[in-house]
Structure 1
Amino acid sequence: MKAYIIRRLLYMVLTLFGASVLIFGLYALTPGDFVDNNPKLTDERKAELKQMYGLDKPVVERYFVWLGNAVRGDFGYSLQYQQPVTSLLSQYIWNSFLIASASTLFTWLIAIVIGVISATRQYSFFDSAVTIGAFAAMSFPSFFAGLLIIKFFAVDLGWFPPGGMITTGSNATGLAYVWEVIDHMFLPVLVLTMLGVGSLTRYFRTNMLEIIRQDFIRTARAKGLKEKTVVYKHALRNALLPAITLLGFELPALFGGAIITEKIFNWPGVGQLYMQAFSLRDYPLLMGFTMFLAILTVVSNLLADLLYGVADPRVRLK
C-alpha cells in the first residue's frame, strides 16, 4: 500500500506539471490581458504595469517564475481585485464548497435509493417514471432550471429567497445565521442536485441490474436469505464499486458546473469570481482557479482509488 501511494503521488506531480504547462500556455498565448483591455490606461501606464508584473518577459521565463511561486502557494496577483490570488480564492472557495458538498451528498443519496428501487422493480410504473424523470432532468440546461425554480419557489410561492447567501442588511449570528445560510442555499443545491441525480440514477440502476443477475445473488437467494439482505448487503455493495470511480470526478465537476448556478442565484462563490475574471481577462486569477480544479481532480482520483481498495477486499493495491 505504501509503495502504491508513493508511486501515485509521483504520478500526481507529473500530471500537475503537465496541467500547469497547458493552463499557463493557454492563457499566456491568448491575445490581450487585463492591462491591454483597460481603455482608461495610457500606453505609458500599460508599459509600466507590464514591467511591474513581469508581463513583458518571454512566455517561458514567465512560466517558470509562475510555477516556482505556485509551488510555494503563490498563484500571482489579481489585477482586477488588487489582491493575491490565493487569499482571494480562500475568501470564496468555501462558499462554493458548501453548495458543492451538499449537492453531492443529496445527489448520491437520492440516486442510490431510486436506482436500487428502480432496478428491483424493473419495468414497473415507478421504473418508467424514474426513467422519464431522469432524462427530463438531464435535458434541462442549468441556467433554465435555475430561472424556472426561482420563478416557482421564490416568486410565485415565496418559500425561499431568490438569491444571495444572507439577507441584505442581516445581522444574524449563531444558529440564526446558519439557518439563514441554509435557507438561501436551498435553491442552488436543488438545481445542482436535480441536474446530477438523473445520470447517476441511471448508472446505479444499470449496475444493480447487472449485479442481481449474477450467480452469487441467485446463490444467496437459494440459501434462504431475506430479500433485503440480498439486495442491500450483497448486491448494493458490489454495485457501488464501479461508482466509486465516478466519485473522483464529482466534486471537481460540481465546482465547474456551479459557475453558472452561482451567477444565477448571486451566490458569493468562486464561480462568480471566475465569470468576472473571464470577462475582464484577469489571467492570474483564471490560472489559479483552473490549477485548483486540476489539483482537486488528481487528489479526488487518488482518494477514489484508495476507497475502491477499502470497499473491495479482493482489490490489492500493489
Structure 2
Amino acid sequence: MSTYITKRLIYTLVILLAASLLIFCLYALTPGDFISGNIKLSPERRAELRAIYGLDQPILERYFTWMNHALQGDFGDSLAQQQPVLKLFKDYVWNSFLLAIVSTFLTWLIAVVIGVVAAYKQYSWFDTLVMIGIFAAMSIPSFFIGLFLIKILAVDLKWLPPGGMMTTGSNATGLAYFKEVIHHMALPVIVMTLLGVGSLTRYFRSNMIDVIKQDYIRTARAKGMSERKVLFTHALRNALLPAITLVGFELPALFGGSLIIEKIFNWPGIGQLYMQSFSLRDYPLLMGFTMFMAILTVIGTLLSDLLYHVADPRVKLQ
C-alpha cells in the first residue's frame, strides 16, 4: 500500500507539472488580456503595466517565474480584483463548497434509493416514471430549470428568495444567519440536485439490475433473508463498487459543476468569480482556478482508487 501511494504521488506531481505548463501556455497564448482590453489606458500606461506584471517577457521565462511563486503558495494577483488569487479563493471557495456538498449528498441519497427501488421493480409503472424523469432531468438545460423555479417558487409563490446568499442589508448573526443562508441556498441546491440525480440514478439502476441477477443474491433469498436486507446489505454494497470510480470526478465537480448555477442565482461563490474573470480576461485568476481544479482531479482519482481497494479487498494495488 505504501509503495503504491508513493508511486502515485510521484505520478501526480509529474501530471500536475505537465498540467501547469499546459494551463499557463493556454492562457498566455490567448490573444488579448486585461490590460490590452482596457480602453481607458493610454499606450504608455499599458506598456508600463505589462512590464510591471512581466507580460513583456518570453513565455517560458514567465512560466518558470509563475511556477516558482506557485510552489511558495503565491499564484499572483488578480488584475481585475487587485487582490491575491489565494485570498480570493479563501473568500469565495467555501461558499461554493457549502452549496456543492449539500447538493451532492442529496443527489447520491436520492439516486441510491430510487435506483435500488427502480431496479427491484423493473418494468413497473414506478420504473417507467423514473426513466421518464431521468431523461427529462438530463435533457433540460440548467439555466432553464433555474429560471423556471425562480419564476414559480420565488416570483409567483414567494416561498424562497430568488438569489443571493443573504437578504440585502441583513446583519443577521448566529442562528439567524444560519437560517437565512439555508433559506437562500434552497433554490440553487434544488436545481443542482435535479441536474445530477438523473444520470446517477440511471447508473445505480443498471448496476443493481446486474447485481440482483447474481447467484449469491438468489442464495441469500433462499436462506430466508428479508428482501430489504438482501437489497440494501448484499446487493447495494456490490452495486456501489463501480460508483466509487465516480469519486474522482465528484471532487472537482464540487467546485466546477456549479458555475452556471451560481451565476443564475447570484451566489457569491468561486464559480461566479470565475465567470466574471472570463469576461475581464483576468488570466492570473483563471490560471489559479484551473490549476486548483487540476489538483482536485488528481487527488480525487487517487482517493477513488484507494476507496475501491478498501471496499473490495480483492482489488490489489500495485
Bigger drift between 70-79 and 195-204 goes to 70-79
- Any unmatched runs of 5+ in structure 1? none
Asked if 1:9 corresponds to 2:3, the answer is: no
1:227-282 deviations in Å (ceiling 9; x for gaps):
12211111000000000101210231242221110010000001111111100100
Instruction: Tell me the equivalent position of 2:216.
Output: 216
Instruction: Tell me the equivalent position of 2:234.
Output: 234
Q: Secondary structure at the match of 1:175?
A: helix
Once the two structures are TM-superposed, the CA of residue 302 in structure 1 deviates from its matched residue by 1.2
Q: Secondary structure at the match of 1:77?
A: coil
1:151-173 deviations in Å (ceiling 9; x for gaps):
11101111110000010111111
CA–CA distance in structure 1, aligned partners of residues 292 and 117 of structure 2: 37
Q: Secondary structure at the match of 2:258?
A: helix
- Does the 8 A contact of 2:93 with 2:270 survive in 1? yes
CA–CA distance in structure 2, aligned partners of residues 151 and 250 of structure 1: 30
Asked if 1:288 corresponds to 2:315, the answer is: no
- Does the 8 A contact of 1:217 with 1:235 survive in 2? yes
- Does the 8 A contact of 2:137 with 2:195 survive in 1? yes
CA–CA distance in structure 1, aligned partners of residues 175 and 103 of structure 2: 21
Q: 1:40-189 alignment to 2 at 5 Å?
A: 40-189=40-189
TM-score by length of 1: 0.98
Q: Which amino acid aligns with 2:137?
A: A
Report the RMSD for the aligned CA atoms in angstroms. 0.9
- Any unmatched runs of 5+ in structure 2? none
Q: Secondary structure at the match of 2:257?
A: helix
CA–CA distance in structure 2, aligned partners of residues 14 and 264 of structure 1: 37
Q: Secondary structure at the match of 1:246?
A: helix
**Aligned-residue identity in percent:** 69
CA–CA distance in structure 2, aligned partners of residues 105 and 72 of structure 1: 34
Would you say how many aligned residue pairs link Structure 1 and Structure 2?
Answer: 318
Q: Secondary structure at the match of 1:275?
A: helix
Q: 1:228-307 alignment to 2 at 5 Å?
A: 228-307=228-307
- Does the 8 A contact of 2:155 with 2:162 survive in 1? yes
Q: Secondary structure at the match of 1:79?
A: coil
CA–CA distance in structure 1, aligned partners of residues 72 and 203 of structure 2: 40
Once the two structures are TM-superposed, the CA of residue 89 in structure 1 deviates from its matched residue by 1.3
- Does the 8 A contact of 2:77 with 2:84 survive in 1? yes
- Does the 8 A contact of 1:104 with 1:251 survive in 2? no
Bigger drift between 297-306 and 112-121 goes to 297-306
Bigger drift between 300-309 and 36-45 goes to 300-309
Instruction: Tell me the equivalent position of 1:34.
Output: 34
Instruction: Tell me the equivalent position of 2:312.
Output: 312
TM-score by length of 2: 0.98
CA–CA distance in structure 1, aligned partners of residues 314 and 224 of structure 2: 25
Once the two structures are TM-superposed, the CA of residue 130 in structure 1 deviates from its matched residue by 0.4
Moved over 4 A (4+): none
- Does the 8 A contact of 1:154 with 1:162 survive in 2? yes
Q: Which amino acid aligns with 2:52?
A: M
Q: Which amino acid aligns with 1:248?
A: G
CA–CA distance in structure 2, aligned partners of residues 146 and 98 of structure 1: 18
- Does the 8 A contact of 2:23 with 2:290 survive in 1? yes
- Does the 8 A contact of 1:101 with 1:251 survive in 2? no
CA–CA distance in structure 1, aligned partners of residues 255 and 140 of structure 2: 18
CA–CA distance in structure 1, aligned partners of residues 10 and 19 of structure 2: 14
CA–CA distance in structure 1, aligned partners of residues 138 and 251 of structure 2: 18
- Does the 8 A contact of 2:96 with 2:254 survive in 1? no
- Does the 8 A contact of 1:107 with 1:193 survive in 2? yes
Q: Secondary structure at the match of 1:22?
A: helix
Q: Which amino acid aligns with 1:45?
A: R
CA–CA distance in structure 2, aligned partners of residues 241 and 202 of structure 1: 15
CA–CA distance in structure 1, aligned partners of residues 58 and 276 of structure 2: 27
- Does the 8 A contact of 2:116 with 2:205 survive in 1? yes
Once the two structures are TM-superposed, the CA of residue 16 in structure 1 deviates from its matched residue by 0.7
CA–CA distance in structure 2, aligned partners of residues 233 and 316 of structure 1: 24
